[in-house]
Amino acid sequence: MTDEHTPQPAHPPHDRTQPSNPADRIVSIDVIRGIAIAGILLININFFLRQAGQTEDPAGTDAVIWQIVDDVALGKFHFVFAFLFGTGVHIFLTRLRAKGRSRWVYVRRMVILVIAGLINSALGGIDVLASYGVLALLLLPLTLLPRWSFVSLGVLAAVIPDLLQLITSVGGVDLHLPSLLLPLLSFARTLGHMMLGFWLAGLGLYSATTRVPVAALFVLSLVGSIPLWIWTNSAGVGSTDAHEIAFRTAMIPGFMYVTGLILLLRTEVGRICLSFLRLYGRMAFSNYLGQTVICVLVFPLLTALGYISAPLGLGIWAVIVVFQCAFSTFWLRHFRYGPLEWVWRCGTYWQITPLRIAETPRP
């Protein structure tokens, strides 16, 4: 499932030992991934506040602000993150084939991700890494399917779980679904998002010469997002239905974000304005787990001082993102990979990869 737009390997095909070079990365993917990481933290702020001891429900202006956050972020950035994960799987497997490496390298990579996710959960964070690792292992045999069946299965997996959940939760229709089926539907939904990212990466979505009609898809998803936002807010500010609608219809505005950012990054102004997120996205693994550590350690100290209002919560979110952007920039001036990205690479290839920029590979 590759074509002429598939990124080329960082090393010649006969070189079976070297992992991909950071210089071979696709900048637009790093920037969009950085935005997704920041968006996921925005979604999780309320969870970390409640975990830190804030029990008071938002009301008045605070309720309106958090509703706007749901409109903008809830589910949308999880879609973007899963979509980009599927893109990363496509790129990794393509380069793995070009190097003549076994697919067991990919399996080892995902097992490490599952372990990292379990550690993140133990720290007290909302984790997606463990489930992503498991779903990526399921995705591997699916990539062997014919393209039409792969795409059809991906669309169905992405759409049907949300549709069934909307019918039962918002529509009030009891479909008599087995209780065990609900968590499986959630996993299928995420797997569908990954499959869409994998498929469109194969069509060269991020290439300037792509045959994917990015502008048309952006317009269609924008037009489709407007009635969804109206529907969400008509359900009532802060209501359960509004929360459910925002989450279950997230794929359409999420796809608008992806295509809109691709178009924006094709302009000089967009590249300049969003360039600071490139290194933040390159260290997405480290920054994702870093968010958990920061929030678990700092938020109890803040909630002990009193109620954290929505504007203050958004300010804390912005400070964390700016700090992580600055740290990522500083780190990657001296090192090839983020700290956890480096550990992940070493475990993936089962060898020590040079970390410092000045270092050269061992013979």
The answer to whether residue 118 is domain-embedded is yes
Residue 4 pLDDT: 35
What pLDDT, in 10s, does the model give residues 188-243?
Answer: 999 999 999 999 999 999 988 888 999 999 999 999 999 999 999 899 888 889 99
The answer to whether residue 5 is domain-embedded is no
Residue 8 pLDDT: 39
The answer to whether residue 3 is domain-embedded is no
* SS3 category, 311: helix
* SS3 category, 335: strand
Q: Which residues contact 236 (CB under 8 A, 6 or more apart)?
A: 242
Q: Which residues contact 262 (CB under 8 A, 6 or more apart)?
A: 28, 32, 205, 206, 214
The answer to whether residue 360 is domain-embedded is no
CA-nearest of 245, 222, 218, 192 to 82 is: 192
List, as one string, the DSSP characters of 5-67.
Answer: TSPPPSS-TT--SPPPPGGGS-HHHHHHHHHHHHHHHHHHHHHHHHHTT--PPP-THHHHHHH
The answer to whether residue 97 is domain-embedded is yes
* SS3 category, 109: helix
| Host domain of residue 293 | 22-349
The answer to whether residue 200 is domain-embedded is yes
Torsion-angle region of 66 (φ positive above 0: left; ψ -120 to 50: alpha; else: beta): alpha
Q: Would you tell me how many other CB atoms lie within 10 Å of the CB of residue 254?
A: 25
The answer to whether residue 114 is domain-embedded is yes
What pLDDT, in 10s, does the model give residues 45-87?
Answer: 999 999 999 988 888 999 999 999 999 999 999 999 999 999 9
Number of domains composing the chain:
1
**Which ranges of the chain have pLDDT less than 70?**
1-25, 359-363
The answer to whether residue 9 is domain-embedded is no
Is residue 118 exposed (0-12), middle (13-18) or buried (19+ Cβ within 10 Å)?
A: middle
Predicted TM-score of the model (pTM): 0.88
CA-nearest of 24, 2, 28, 7 to 277 is: 28
The interaxial angle of helices 129-142 and 76-98, nearest 10 deg, is 50
